[in-house]
Amino acid sequence: MGRLPFWLLTRAAVVLALCGALFAMNGMLLGWADAYDVLIGITSPAEADPQWAAWPLSVVGWAAIPAFVGGTVGYLVTVQIQAHQSRDFDAVMDELRAMIQPPPGPGDGT
């Protein structure tokens, strides 16, 4: 198993479960539509009742979820770039050795 699938199954599952539990708690307290509006920033948590539950949901929607998604996408893009840029060390050294050889003289060629 690669690093990303392992991370998603072990560490990320905990973070997503906590975010889901927080959303579910707010859905039951505020109503599902209002909880969604607070999560994505349409409604201020100061306008919600109870505010003690809405503020953590707002912080999760404003900071934690974008950071999670951005980090995951950044990792995937980095892996793809590295996969397309990697070259064998011996091939690079052979290319460098060929570049530093002096050009053939007039009597050395065919």
pLDDT score of 51 more than 80: yes
Q: What predicted TM-score, i.e. pTM, was given to this entire model? A: 0.65
Q: What is the pLDDT of residues 56-76, one digit of tens each?
A: 999 999 998 898 888 888 888
Structure tokens belonging to residue 109 = 């060629």
CA distance 48 to 106: 86
CA distance 32 to 18: 17
The pLDDT, as a whole number, for residue 45 is: 94
DSSP H helices in the chain: 3-7, 13-30, 32-40, 51-59, 65-85, 89-100
The pLDDT, as a whole number, for residue 110 is: 56
Q: What is the pLDDT of residues 79-104, one digit of tens each?
A: 888 877 777 788 888 888 988 988 77
Residue tagged 């109870």 (tokens): 50
Q: Please, are residues 58 and 45 in contact by the beta-carbon 8 Å criterion? A: yes
* Alpha carbon distances (Å) from 12 to 4, 44, 69, 72, 109: 10, 27, 11, 10, 63
Rounded to 5°, angle at Cα 18 from 36 and 53 = 50
Structure tokens belonging to residue 106 = 């007039």
Minimum mean pLDDT range among 2-11, 26-35, 42-51: 2-11
Q: Output 73 or 107, whichever has higher pLDDT.
A: 73
The pLDDT, as a whole number, for residue 108 is: 61
